[in-house]
Amino acid sequence: MAERAETAVGRWDWFDTTLVSFCVAALGIAVLAGLIQVSYGSYEMTLRQAWLSVFDPAVWTQPNVLATFFLGERATAALGLSTEYDLATATNIVWNIRLPRVFTAALVGLSLSISGTIFQAITRNELASPFILGVSSGAGFAVLVTLVLIPSFGFLLPLTAAVGGTAAFLLVYAIAWQGGTSPVRLVLAGVIVGTVLNSLQTALYFFATDLGTVQQAISWTTGSLTGADWAQFRIILPFVLLVVVPGTVLGARQLNVLLLGESTASALGMRVERMRFALSVIGIVAASAAVAVAGVVSFVGLVVPHVVRTVVGSDHKRLLVGCAFAGPALLVVADTGARLFLPVVTGSPTQLPVGVVTGIIGGPYFLYLMRRRQQLGEL
């Protein structure tokens, strides 16, 4: 009996008040930023009206209404639920126009932060992220090719993003391989591949004949949640629920083992290359799903794992949980600033791309990490 109790305690020894407090604080920040964002728009309403609309019982007490929003009309009808509902005007605007952007930002932030954590572990490089390693650029390039050259296949954006992200990561790994890889070579190879892909993205604009396509392409390359609706949310949701969350839950222990080094991991019975590939797939899917709905949002996958690591430690059972809360908080706050800064300060209806805001935050932090490292290694 005592042994069972000790085993149960061992399974949950990573779960403590520091982690809980951090997650609660991050959740509170995300909720507050989301409530601020839904309070402003072309349809004027008071803060009280907006916030009451978010928690309107007419939505929360009717499963068919929630299912219609989160699953879509077709899936809701397949469940035998009605897709018709009658909501107040303010509630309709908040739930159909403003809240989907907040929920989508939360899932994008979660996906990118989890992806960055995985890549930092499998490369044993604290400067790694889907953006730095070229995964985001590869996914973005594949999305742009689809939008500009074969727009009729736009419904396959998540798949093309995943293929592009995978191809870019494999190319980075091949360039960095010299009888093995090193953290510095992986970062440099990622920068090279990312730069080339960014140039190719710019070249694609010359093949676009429609101004609307060019504007849509620019929003992808800068990272934007403008116009995000429930359709975008429903694109990323299955990948988060079916791949990212289960994959990270099952892979947290393996990520800890990989940090010990290849020889130690092999001695413990791990098939290192197979496990590294499997975990890379999770990271690529997470980053590609985010790119498919929001474009190339930079630095989230780099900044969030480091911020969380300084608070909850480097155990991935704790780190991944913290990132699942901190990533959404960062991106919801950044998107709130991107959406409201220019309209509130200048009165202009123009919105900043969220990728601009995360770049402003992440660029200086990336330089700080480079300066902090004592040893970068041999090229």
Could you tell me the CA-to-CA distances from 132 to 22, 199, 244, 302, 350 in Å, in that order?
A: 27, 15, 20, 8, 29
Instruction: Report how far residue 190's alpha carbon sits from residue 167's, in angstroms, rounded to the nearest whole number.
Output: 12
pLDDT, average across residues 294-300: 86
Instruction: Provide the pLDDT confidence category of residue 367 given band limits of 50, 70 and 90.
Output: confident
- Which has the minimum average pLDDT: 106-110, 124-128, 305-309? 124-128
- How high is the pLDDT of residue 284? 86
pLDDT, average across residues 50-54: 93
Which tokens hold the place of 321? 């949980």
pLDDT above 70: residue 190: yes
Mind listing the pLDDT tens digit for each residue in 56-71? 999 999 999 999 999 9
pLDDT, average across residues 169-192: 80
In the chain, what percentage of residues exceed pLDDT 90? Answer: 37
- How high is the pLDDT of residue 14? 56
Instruction: Provide the pLDDT confidence category of residue 6 given band limits of 50, 70 and 90.
Output: very low
In SS3 terms, the chain reads as CHHHHHHHHHHCCCCCHHHHHHHHHHHHHHHHHHHHHCCCCCCCCCHHHHHHHHCCHHHHCCHHHHHHHHHCHHHHHHCCCCCCCCCCHHHHHHHHHHHHHHHHHHHHHHHHHHHHHHHHHHCCCCCCCCCCCCHHHHHHHHHHHHHHHCHHHHHHHHHHHHHHHHHHHHHHHHHHCCCCCCHHHHHHHHHHHHHHHHHHHHHHHHHCCCHHHHHHHHHHHHCCCCCCCHHHHHHHHHHHHHHHHHHHHHHHHHHHHHCCCHHHHHHCCCCHHHHHHHHHHHHHHHHHHHHHHHCCCCCHHHHHHHHHHHHHCCCHHHHHHHHHHHHHHHHHHHHHHHHHHHHHHCCCCCCCCHHHHHHHHHHHHHHHHHHHCCCCCCC
pLDDT above 60: residue 1: no
| Average pLDDT along the chain | 84
Instruction: Provide the pLDDT confidence category of residue 379 given band limits of 50, 70 and 90.
Output: very low
Which tokens hold the place of 135? 């995964």
Q: What is the pTM of this model?
A: 0.87
Taking each helix axis as running N to C, give the angle between helix 211-222 and helix 135-149, from 0 to 180 degrees, rounded to the nearest 10.
Answer: 170
pLDDT, average across residues 46-56: 92
The 10 Å CB-count burial string (b at 16+, else e) for 337-361 is bbbbbeeeeeeeeebbbbbbbbbeb
- Which has the minimum average pLDDT: 51-55, 86-90, 290-294? 290-294
Instruction: Report how far residue 58's alpha carbon sits from residue 85's, in angstroms, rounded to the nearest whole number.
Output: 9
The phi and psi torsions of 329 (rounded to 5 degrees) equal -60, -45
Closest listed residue to residue 123, CA positions, set 169, 168, 167: 169
pLDDT, average across residues 220-242: 88
- How high is the pLDDT of residue 32? 96
The phi and psi torsions of 226 (rounded to 5 degrees) equal -60, 125
Instruction: Provide the pLDDT confidence category of residue 376 given band limits of 50, 70 and 90.
Output: very low
